[in-house]
Structure 1
Amino acid sequence: MKQIHRQQLAERLLALAESGALQQSDARARIADVIDSVEHADAAADLRRVTILLSDLRGFTALAEQHSALAMVEALNRYLARMTEIILRWGGAIDKFMGDAIMVLFGAPEALEDDIVSAIACAIEMQIAMDEINADNRQHGMAPWFMGIGINTGEVVAGQLGSRLHSEYTVIGDQVNLASRIEAHSLRGQILLSEATWRQAQGFIETGDVNEVSVKGKRETVRMYELQATHRPHRLVAPKREIRNSPRVEVDMPLVFRRLKGKAVGTRKLDGRITDLSYGGMFVRSAVALQAFDDICFALSLSLMGRELTEIYAKVLRVVPLPDGQFGYPVEFTAIEAKAQQSIKEFVDGIVELGRP
């Protein structure tokens, strides 16, 4: 409507110029004023309820180091083109691309009757499309990509942001920040819903695990629901990409451990370093030669946690020879007290939060 109004005013001013009632130079100036004033009016922000979808590729930076910049740009463009096709088909508006991340709005700038239905179905189709993306990646000699998605519904401020030289339509507010934090906690191939989205969608969706975390700016913990399937507008099932127990965060911590022999704990103390940590396990680098399925125990004392953990038992899942002559060991916790488990979870969640503004 504003676009039509702008065009009509411009045409009227040009007609006046052609009739001689207005100098052409004056007409051009007046047209510029009309356009500027209408665009300024368009910039007025308003409050509206939207559903925000944020997606991001997991470990993309590390993958990018294995290929040329040109090859990665071409692959990323193929990925973004496919995701854009799905997003637009479900009525989403792409707010911005942020490298390999995508921010999508459902309900802005144009209102949608079923913004939550559309956002949820869109997210599942995006995850399904990763099979196609990865088939293409394999043809180009690339490892599989995995995407995490976070969805939140709430009231935001929507409008033009910027200046007369450059501006763009976007949304801002606490609900946008919350969507970003939910996305940060999503695992490889996972879709997480905020409690607000879940409450309004629980009648037509299927969900799995519920993760409860403390996030910056929130006094109470935030509940996040794993989306498994939707029944609206038709049944769609989110694919399971891999066994996903929790987020993994990069760390660099010393580790002193002992090997178990049968049920007895060895007396010799062995050294290593923890290079990543999750709720249920870790990756250890060590010069010590262990075997797959060896059992170890250790007392994980981390000052950053503010407490000393009790003794933890774990199993080596496999052995990874490293270029520097050391060994890498993915390790799974097998016996851990609830208090220690909660401390590790809080520590991991805290590092995830540090990755968000």
Structure 2
Amino acid sequence: MDKDTTASTPGPSAFDPDEVLQHLDGLVSRDKGSPLSAAARAEMSATLRLAAQTSMAPYAFSLVSRDVTVLWAKLRGGPVTDSQNPDAADLEPLNRCLAKLIEVITRYQGTIDQLSGDAIKVFFGAENPRSDDVQRAVMCAVEMQMAMRDLNMEHMRDRVPQVFMGIGLSTGKALAGRIGSDAFSHFTVMGDLVNLAFRLQAFSLRGQVLISEETYERCWGLVSATAPMQVFVKGYSQPISMRELVAIPTRRLKVPRQEFRRSHRVEVRIPCTYQIVQDGVVLPHVAQAVIRDMGYHGAMLELVEPLDLQGEVRLSFDLTLVQYQARDLYARVVTLKTDTPHPMAGVEFTSTSAEFEARAQMFVQMMVAAG
């Protein structure tokens, strides 16, 4: 049995289940013309008695240890999420998104803990634990992404900017209860898994659902997911394991992922030098550039001197965050932008070492986690 971790303070009296049941029975009779059936009355009585037993915990300002699944979702794109000063007209599509998402969360009986403009935190199992908390959480996540897909189709028809979403879920032990004072209090969950769900959400791409390994272990028979991926997450000394949730086959639910990339890309400003490679020979002239964003497999360079599309270069730069000096790194120019104040060249790494690949992955993941 769960035990309180802090002393409780007196709160309001619990309600009388029998009295509430009688009142509800009367309402049903007046509305439908007949009272509740015996089976419905028994089910309602059991539900009310469970609610009466647990209703005092939120008011007692105590914390109990519970198995909880936390879902963090964050909207991306659109004028509200992209602008620091959105106007009133921008709120209408945002509210349409939130209304759809809240509808899905309510259907799966999740508890909304936080709603802050472009982010939603939901938990399952904190207030009234059930055996299917994890299953409901993952189904909720998939249907939230499906709802966003359908909504974006409407936005396209209405010429409204599309809004996308990334989701992270984690499962484990957490402290659950009401915190605050008699003047204001709030039921919430606290623990490492809350931070982990937030960090997984940060790693997610548009339309993606990422789940922790413990979440997967508790619903592996229900879901289809990728092999585990090791990522560096802020607050953890070692890489943690996560999976991408792909589908729930038995329910015919599939995540409608909207963004397909081989890796994350992070905005940076790293001084860089390069030399042009011509017919397999590295030319002696060294030119300056700045890396403006970077992924596992390539980067975007801000140039001072022009480069040719499909040209090959040898790069040198420092990744001080992971204490690594990249030298003799070869890349090919795959895109060029000339309509910017400085020419921009997208390069794809073509010849790398195993050490560079590991350090670059660590660097990108640490930058994502820090964001």
After TM superposition, the score normalised by the length of structure 2 is 0.79
Q: Could you say what secondary structure the match of 2:186 adopts?
A: strand
State whether residues 310 and 337 of structure 1, in contact with CA within 8 Å, keep that contact through their aligned partners in structure 2: no
Change (3 A) 1:94 1:63: closer
Q: 1:110 aligns with which of 128, 137, 142?
A: 128
Q: One-letter code of the match for 1:188?
A: R
Shift of 1:61: 7.8
State whether residues 64 and 72 of structure 1, in contact with CA within 8 Å, keep that contact through their aligned partners in structure 2: no
Q: 1:4 aligns with which of 7, 15, 32?
A: 15
Greater CA drift, 182-191 or 337-346? 182-191
Q: 2:351 aligns with which of 312, 327, 335?
A: 335
Shift of 1:77: 1.0
Using the alignment, how far apart are the partners of 1:282 and 1:243 within structure 2?
Answer: 17
Shift of 1:158: 0.9
Change (3 A) 1:105 1:41: closer
Q: 1:272 aligns with which of 270, 285, 289?
A: 289
Using the alignment, how far apart are the partners of 1:161 and 1:147 within structure 2?
Answer: 29
Q: CA RMSD in A?
A: 2.8
Change (3 A) 1:128 1:261: farther
Partner of 1:350: 366
Using the alignment, how far apart are the partners of 2:267 and 2:313 within structure 1?
Answer: 21
Which structure 2 residues correspond to residues 193-212 of structure 1 after superposition, within 5 A? Answer: 193-212=211-230
State whether residues 205 and 259 of structure 2, in contact with CA within 8 Å, keep that contact through their aligned partners in structure 1: no
Extract unaligned runs of 5+ from structure 1. Answer: 9-37
Change (3 A) 1:291 1:134: farther
Does residue 130 of the first structure (1) align with residue 140 of the second (2)? no
Which structure 2 residues correspond to residues 94-109 of structure 1 after superposition, within 5 A? Answer: 94-109=112-127
Partner of 2:5: none
Extract unaligned runs of 5+ from structure 2. Answer: 1-11, 20-55
Shift of 1:194: 0.5
Does residue 315 of the first structure (1) align with residue 332 of the second (2)? yes
Shift of 1:60: 6.2
Does residue 185 of the first structure (1) align with residue 203 of the second (2)? yes
Which structure 2 residues correspond to residues 5-84 of structure 1 after superposition, within 5 A? Answer: 5=16, 41-58=59-76, 64-65=82-83, 68-84=86-102
Greater CA drift, 106-115 or 187-196? 106-115
Using the alignment, how far apart are the partners of 1:167 and 1:41 within structure 2?
Answer: 8
Using the alignment, how far apart are the partners of 2:191 and 2:223 within structure 1?
Answer: 27
Shift of 1:335: 2.0
Partner of 2:106: 88
Partner of 1:146: 164
Change (3 A) 1:67 1:214: closer
Using the alignment, how far apart are the partners of 1:144 and 1:330 within structure 2?
Answer: 26
Partner of 1:30: none
Report % sequence identity.
34
Shift of 1:86: 1.1
Shift of 1:303: 2.8
Change (3 A) 1:143 1:277: farther
State whether residues 223 and 248 of structure 2, in contact with CA within 8 Å, keep that contact through their aligned partners in structure 1: yes
Using the alignment, how far apart are the partners of 1:142 and 1:265 within structure 2?
Answer: 49
State whether residues 330 and 350 of structure 2, in contact with CA within 8 Å, keep that contact through their aligned partners in structure 1: yes
Partner of 2:320: 303
Q: One-letter code of the match for 2:99?
A: A
Q: Could you say what secondary structure the match of 1:239 adopts?
A: coil
State whether residues 188 and 244 of structure 1, in contact with CA within 8 Å, keep that contact through their aligned partners in structure 2: no
Using the alignment, how far apart are the partners of 2:235 and 2:84 within structure 1?
Answer: 37
State whether residues 79 and 86 of structure 2, in contact with CA within 8 Å, keep that contact through their aligned partners in structure 1: no
Using the alignment, how far apart are the partners of 1:261 and 1:290 within structure 2?
Answer: 12
Partner of 1:282: 299
Using the alignment, how far apart are the partners of 1:112 and 1:124 within structure 2?
Answer: 20
After TM superposition, the score normalised by the length of structure 1 is 0.82
State whether residues 291 and 318 of structure 1, in contact with CA within 8 Å, keep that contact through their aligned partners in structure 2: no
Using the alignment, how far apart are the partners of 1:84 and 1:62 within structure 2?
Answer: 18
Q: One-letter code of the match for 2:123?
A: L
Using the alignment, how far apart are the partners of 2:158 and 2:343 within structure 1?
Answer: 30
**How many pairs does the alignment contain?**
325
Q: Could you say what secondary structure the match of 2:109 adopts?
A: coil
Shift of 1:167: 1.2
Using the alignment, how far apart are the partners of 2:84 and 2:340 within structure 1?
Answer: 16
Q: One-letter code of the match for 2:260?
A: I
Using the alignment, how far apart are the partners of 1:73 and 1:304 within structure 2?
Answer: 38
Q: Could you say what secondary structure the match of 1:108 adopts?
A: coil
Using the alignment, how far apart are the partners of 1:255 and 1:62 within structure 2?
Answer: 34
Partner of 1:13: none
Using the alignment, how far apart are the partners of 2:81 and 2:347 within structure 1?
Answer: 23
State whether residues 187 and 246 of structure 1, in contact with CA within 8 Å, keep that contact through their aligned partners in structure 2: no
Shift of 1:206: 1.7
Q: Could you say what secondary structure the match of 1:201 adopts?
A: coil
State whether residues 80 and 86 of structure 2, in contact with CA within 8 Å, keep that contact through their aligned partners in structure 1: no
Q: Could you say what secondary structure the match of 1:314 adopts?
A: strand
